Amino acid sequence: MKIAFLADPLSAFKIYKDSTYAMMTEAARRGHQVYAFEQQDIVLESGLVTANAFKVTLTGDAEDWYRLDDGKETYLSEFDAIIVRKDPPFDMEYIYTTYLLELAEKQGARVFNKPSAIRDFNEKLAIAQFPQYTAPTLVTRDARRLRGFHTEHQDVILKPLDGMGGAGIFRVGRDGMNLGSIIETLTDNGRRTIMIQKFIAQITDGDKRILLIGGRVVPFVLARIPQGTEVRGNLAAGGLGVAQPISAANLKMAEAMAPVLDARGLLLVGLDAIGDYLTEVNVTSPTCFQEIKQQSGFDVAEMFIAAVEAAVK
């Protein structure tokens, strides 16, 4: 097969931990041709969607790990599969990209995750579709309601709806220290909607990444454990990643959600859970493939590429 990855620049990959690199390596190992392109390479002209796509040769070298050909303008429908691995921010350029990919689908392209599904699933707000698994949550820009939520629950987390890697997350305890300033900053004085949740004490055991692939649950999770005085477990915020077998409660939740999300065109999903509570549904470019394999031996990339193969048959 010809598999194309829509990703950030390959030169920025940290291949010792990058999940897209693991996908590419597994695809090449299975005999598939690997291509890459970026958002800026996509073009709509005369009603047809193309991209200046580069064939990728993996060298096996830790430093110069890839070689690219000169690139070729290619109809996206010519690829057997297109894997969307563009990291947030989920801005208007990202949305425009999903529109173009959706047009390419109508022309025969097979895109994973489905562009409309990526666009429809805000990674923070999507938890509202599964309220049976969530902690008390409020989404609003109203300072009065945000303050009322804090009064009720005492210990809370506030976060923007478009953040990633733990950016912009604040904890406010019983004393309400800096609550007003945080609300003003995150809501831009009432102009931006944010999320506030009851603080989940089990964060000390880690913010667990649960991976769903093709409607099935990966049997290991990566618990991202906050370090020192940090409240965030995100690896980008200094969290320690510890692979572990999925708990019975998390497995029950994941098995209930997996077929629902797969049916909506989401081949790969990264659920975030603290304790038994669902906190995010990651659909843009879920990670943690390599950390899980390195610590548990379970090859997530192998499971993923096998799922892509099955999906395009």
Nearest to 4 by CA among 55, 50, 44, 61: 55
Active-site hit among 86, 208, 209, 293: 209
Active-site hit among 85, 282, 291, 293: 282
Active-site hit among 38, 123, 262, 280: 280
Residue 272 catalytic? yes
Active-site hit among 123, 224, 250, 293: 224
Residue 52 catalytic? no
Residue 313 catalytic? no
Residue 198 catalytic? no
Q: What are phi and psi of 23, to 5 degrees?
A: -65, -45
Residue 159 catalytic? yes
Question: How far is Cα 277 from Cα 247, in angstroms, rounded to an integer?
Answer: 12
- What distance lies between CA 224 and its chain's CA centroid? 15
Residue 216 catalytic? no
Active-site hit among 119, 159, 198, 293: 159
Active-site hit among 85, 124, 208, 293: 124
Residue 232 catalytic? yes
Residue 145 catalytic? no
Active-site hit among 86, 272, 291, 293: 272
**Do 33 and 54 form a contact (C-beta atoms < 8 A)?**
no
Active-site hit among 105, 232, 291, 293: 232
Enzyme catalytic residues: 124, 159, 209, 224, 232, 272, 280, 282
